[in-house]
């Protein structure tokens, strides 16, 4: 029986790429560097803030001091812009409320900085989630599951009673590393064909399909 669903955040629950790109581009302009498109931003996300910034810099080497300044400015703008255009994907609110009404516990494991992930979840989905885990300073991002396993233990999440949901190949590997079945979603930032190549347990194209999987205890109806 599926009692817990763990979601990725950006590209799975929330369409946030406009605000991520806006925050990055503001800082790139400050450093007199070329800006990036939303499509480029989509290809850069998924492996944590440091790799996101490195990819946005496109090979430009910054001193340690300049890099820290860049990162601080970006993080400040993430707070400023993170709710400007960010919104749940179509059908997500209905999915979450239906799962909650079915006594399924909802969690988030994201490579977004932890404080931002918590703020977004509380702002967009108040009182729906039982716990949120973002990237903790000094901890490895997904697909590493060291901090996630500790999070699972804290919240008494049993892998065999859970489903991991994400929109990237990183999420598939993360779920495998935690021994949790995984559902990939085709409405996010990675094509269904690419996700299919990662061999998730399920591949869904609309939230209602995910609801059917959970309420049928993992059987495809």
User: pLDDT digits over 118-156, tens only?
Assistant: 999 999 999 999 999 999 999 999 999 999 999 999 999
Closest of 8, 36, 10 to residue 23, by C-alpha: 36
Question: CA-CA distance, 114 to 187, in Å (whole number)?
Answer: 24
* Cis amide bond preceding 174, omega within 30: no
Same domain, 29 and 112: no
In this prediction the pTM is 0.91
| Residue 110 and residue 148 in contact, taking contact as beta carbons nearer than 8 Å | no
Percent of the chain with pLDDT over 90: 88
Q: What are the tens digits of pLDDT across the range 80-127?
A: 877 888 999 999 999 999 999 999 999 999 999 999 999 999 999 999
Query: Domain limits at 99?
Result: 4-15+87-215
| Residue 202 and residue 184 in contact, taking contact as beta carbons nearer than 8 Å | yes
Mean pLDDT of all residues belonging to the chain: 94
Instruction: Indicate the residue among 50, 81, 112 that finishes a domain.
Output: 81
| Residue 141 and residue 48 in contact, taking contact as beta carbons nearer than 8 Å | yes
Is residue 221 a part of any domain in this protein? Answer: no
Residue 10 per-residue DSSP state: B
Same domain, 185 and 76: no
Residue 191 per-residue DSSP state: -
The predicted pLDDT at position 218 comes to 60
Angle at 117 between CA 63 and CA 2, to 5 degrees: 135
Same domain, 153 and 65: no
Same domain, 207 and 118: yes
Q: What is the number of other CB atoms lying within 10 angstroms of the CB of residue 92?
A: 21
Q: Give the total number of structural domains in the chain.
A: 2
Same domain, 114 and 175: yes
Same domain, 9 and 25: no
Is residue 108 a part of any domain in this protein? Answer: yes
Higher-pLDDT residue of 7, 76: 7
The predicted pLDDT at position 221 comes to 41
Same domain, 61 and 164: no
Same domain, 43 and 136: no
Among left, alpha and beta (phi > 0; psi -120 to 50; other), residue 156 is left
Is residue 49 a part of any domain in this protein? Answer: yes
Q: What are the tens digits of pLDDT across the range 26-62?
A: 999 999 999 999 999 999 998 889 999 999 999 899 9
Is residue 168 a part of any domain in this protein? Answer: yes
Q: What is the number of other CB atoms lying within 10 angstroms of the CB of residue 26?
A: 16
Domain containing residue 121: CATH number = 3.40.50.1000
Is residue 115 a part of any domain in this protein? Answer: yes
Same domain, 209 and 131: yes
| Whole-angstrom Cα Rg for the chain | 17
3-state secondary structure of 112: strand
Is residue 74 a part of any domain in this protein? Answer: yes
């Amino acid at each position: 029986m599926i009692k817990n669903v763990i979601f990725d955040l950006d590209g799975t629950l929330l369409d946030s790429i406009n605000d991520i790109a806006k925050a990055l581009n503001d800082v790139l302009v400050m450093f007199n560097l070329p800006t990036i498109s939303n499509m480029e931003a989509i290809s850069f996300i998924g492996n944590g803030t440091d790799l996101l910034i490195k990819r946005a810099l496109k090979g430009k080497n910054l001193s340690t001091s300049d890099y820290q300044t860049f990162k601080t400015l970006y993080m400040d703008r993430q707070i400023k812009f993170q709710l400007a255009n960010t919104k749940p994907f179509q059908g997500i609110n209905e999915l979450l409320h239906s799962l909650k009404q079915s006594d399924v516990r909802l969690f988030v494991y994201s490579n977004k900085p932890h404080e931002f992930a918590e703020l977004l979840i509380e702002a967009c989905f108040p009182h729906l989630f039982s716990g949120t885990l973002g990237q903790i300073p000094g901890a490895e991002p997904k697909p590493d599951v060291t901090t996630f396993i500790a999070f699972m233990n804290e919240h008494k999440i049993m892998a065999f009673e859970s489903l991991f949901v994400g929109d990237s190949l990183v999420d598939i590997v993360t779920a495998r590393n935690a021994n949790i079945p995984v559902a990939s979603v085709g409405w996010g930032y990675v094509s269904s064909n690419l996700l299919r190549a990662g061999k998730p347990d399920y591949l869904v194209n609309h939230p209602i399909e995910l609801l059917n999987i959970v309420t049928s205890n993992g059987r495809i109806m």
